[in-house]
A and B are shown apart, each in its own frame.
Chain A
Amino acid sequence: MVTDLTKTYRTPFRRRKVEALRGVSFRVARGEIFGFLGPNGAGKTTTIRTLMSLIKPTGGTAQILGHVLPSRAARMRVGFLPEQPYFYDYLTVPELLDLAGRLFGIDRATRKKRADFLIDRVGLGRARNQNLKKFSKGMMQRAGLAQALMNDPDLVVLDEPMSGLDPIGRKEVRDLITELRDQGKTVFFSSHILTDVESVADRVAIVARGQIQTEGTPSELVATTTISVDITMRVAGLADDKVAALVARGPGKSRRVADELHVVLPADADVDAWLAAAHADGAKVVSVSPRHESLEDLFLRHIGSADSSAAAMEGRV
């Protein structure tokens, strides 16, 4: 749970203040995958670093697993993957995981067992004996995931876990996130890529310019507005003038592709009446689908509107 977090960076030489967070509040429920979505520079990493006690907030408070931050008890139960992670490059993965395990106070035998399991799980089995120095970005990311899971955490915090990965790597991370949730863990991850968030997150917060713009389940976020109703019908065997009449009747736009006629009616049109008339004319309706604002539209709208402070205030949760 995060309440009204603010962070102002001071750049000592330019004497310029950067308001990276301007009152960020949200709540993550136990056992859910929470996607923290926002464009670059939105304040995601700043929020996460504050939560990990790497930086002190200028204002506001946060609680993790019931502990008011900063809290070692909370860190005990949290796993953290930093943004663009970098680790001691003179270590091998087993050595890195051993170090992580020691810091969690895990005994030697369990450290070893857990490290072996995680190395296989993140697919670094073949790079076991290699120094991290030789790791690609994607391998570093995997090593980072493994070290974040050494303590079998209740909450996993991942800052841009999919960045720098190829499509297969992204999918593997998505699968891992889902698997962690299915094990009962809470996953909080950030991303600037919509589809990565959309495909796994149970709940999403859209952040831009240091503020939460909106928050909800993906379907909640997109189901609120119907933009239009799309209708597809077969018009084979209909005379051209009949089709033309059909088209003329509707208030919407239409397009004919071979024997199919696609009609887009505005959201407020009387769809039933229109369908009945079309049916009477001999057209066969293939599909009727309401089109909602996509998460992308929503995302773009919120990123764009964050300038106006009124919209920003409204979006604050």
Chain B
Amino acid sequence: MSNSASKSSAGISPSAALGGGPLGSIGRVWAIALNTFREAARIRVLYGVVILVLMSNVLALVLGEMSIYEEQRVSRDVGLAGISIFGSLTAIFLGVFLLYGEVQRRTVHAIVSKPIQRWEFVVGKYVGMALVLTVLVGLFGAAMAAMVTYQGGGVTSALLKAVVLSWCEVLTVAASAIFFSSFSSPFLSGIFALAMFVIGRLTPDIAAATETAKSSWIRLVTKVTLEIVPDLHLYSVSGRNVDGDPVSVHGDFVSWGYVATSAGHGFLWIVGLMALAALLFSRRDFA
């Protein structure tokens, strides 16, 4: 048994694996992403979240029945809030634990000692998480659509746009969670990411509240803080003013152009956060 297979050249095409060519990178990132998806799919808490969201949808149905005119309004609001809030909390949960777990349980040792670059590992983890979150958002969205349809309403383009925006929000939150966990403990990362989520969502409100603050110092700190936090408020626009016009998922909603711009904005944030996360992760010792 010592003769045969060891003599085969192991099927490695050096150019594909080594050249650092985009194909090689994509292959490795994808390998990590699939593995991460697999790992996440075994986390029971996620199923709990799904059940929770479905239950809140059912509750919305019941509440909707009671408010005679507004039943679809309640379903849409609850559905969208569910996607945004539970999606983001799940993103923080996954982002904070998945990368940390690899280091903690030392599964990372057998991986980064192979010809993968650290940034490929970090990006792979993110892509895997993004896949999971996309599935979740899809599930939540489908549940909301089912609910609205049951109530005799249609799935409007406004609803679709709102789901796409929430999806962007969730992916951005996931990137910030991974970013924090690339250098701190799950507990701290969780707090940071949560703070970022809340501040990011409430940016306009915080800005408005501190605009009149007497201390210029407070104004400066607020301004800087709001600048360095992703603009998550871009993704929850229903009930706000956008470019001076009131916007609501129940009535006049944003254009697809707005959705695309906001998605682009989110993409830049994600790329930036991942670049920093990769940089920090590359400098770490796995001892």
Asked if A152 contacts B8 (CB within 8 A), the reply is: yes
Contact of B13 among A85, A99, A105 (CB under 8 A): A105
A56 CB contacts on chain B under 8 angstroms: 283, 285
CB of A313 within 8 A of chain B? no
- B278 smallest CB distance to A (angstroms): 15
| B115 and A76 contact, CB distance less than 8 A | yes
Contact of B113 among A80, A114, A121 (CB under 8 A): A80
- Interface bits A51-63 vs B (CB < 8 Å: 1, else 0): 0111110000000
Beta-carbon contact of A102 and B286 below 8 Å: no
Question: CB of A179 within 8 A of chain B?
Answer: yes
Q: Which of A75-96 contact B (CB under 8 A)?
A: 75-76, 78, 80, 82, 84-88, 90-91
Which bracket fits the contact residues of A?
35 or more
Closest A residue to B3 using CB positions: A183
B115–A179 contact, CB under 8 A?
no
With the chains together, A107 CA to B27 CA distance in Å?
11
Smallest beta-carbon distance B109→chain A, Å: 4
- Flag B270-287 by CB within 8 Å of A: 1 or 0 each: 000000000000010111
Q: Does B110 contact A (CB under 8 A)?
A: yes
Looking at the complex, which of B31-39, B45-53, B166-174 is the stretch in contact with chain A? B31-39
Contact B116 A114 (CB under 8 A): no
From known contacts A54-B285, A88-B107, infer whether A99 and B35 are also in contact, taking CB-CB under 8 Å.
yes
**Which single member of A85, A104, A121, A144 contacts B114 (CB below 8 Å)?**
A104
What residues of A have a CB within 8 angstroms of the CB of B10 in the complex? Answer: 104, 106, 110, 114, 150-152
Q: Does B209 contact A (CB under 8 A)?
A: no
A307 within 8 A of B: no
* Per-residue A-contact encoding for B18-50, CB less than 8 Å = 1, 0 else: 101000100110110001001100100000000
Give chain A nearest CB distance to B129 CB in angstroms.
Answer: 15
Using CB atoms, name the residue of chain A closest to B287. Answer: A55
Residues of B within 8 A of A296 (CB): none
Is B155 among interface residues, defined by CB-CB distance under 8 A?
no
Q: How far is the CA of A313 from the CA of B279 in the complex (A)?
A: 38
Across-interface contacts of B113 in A (CB, < 8 A): 52-54, 75, 78, 80, 82
The answer to whether residues A102 and B27 also contact, given A76-B14, A109-B11 and a CB cut-off of 8 A, is yes
Indicate which residue in A9, A53, A85, A151 contacts B110 across the interface (CB closer than 8 Å). A85
A17 within 8 A of B: no
Interface residues of B in 108-132 (CB under 8 A from A): 109-117
Q: Does B224 contact A (CB under 8 A)?
A: no
Q: Is the CB of A102 within 8 A of B13?
A: no
Q: Is the CB of A88 within 8 A of B114?
A: no
A244 at the interface (CB under 8 A from B): no
Q: Which residue of B lies closest to A78 (CB)?
A: B113
Known pairs A52-B113, A72-B115, A151-B10 / 18 extra A-B pairs, C-beta < 8 Å: A49-B109, A54-B109, A54-B286, A55-B286, A80-B114, A82-B113, A85-B106, A85-B110, A88-B39, A99-B31, A102-B30, A103-B116, A105-B18, A105-B27, A110-B10, A114-B10, A147-B110, A148-B110
The 10 A-B pairs with the shortest beta carbon distances in the complex, nearest first, are A105-B17, A110-B11, A152-B10, A117-B5, A102-B31, A55-B285, A52-B113, A54-B286, A82-B109, A103-B114
- B residues sitting closer than 8 Å to A (CB atoms) are 1-2, 4-6, 8-14, 16-18, 20, 24, 27-28, 30-31, 35, 38-39, 42, 105-107, 109-117, 283, 285-287
Chain A contacts to B: CB under 8 angstroms: 9, 46, 49, 52-56, 72-73, 75-76, 78, 80, 82, 84-88, 90-91, 99-100, 102-107, 109-111, 113-114, 117-118, 120-121, 144, 147-148, 150-152, 179, 182-183
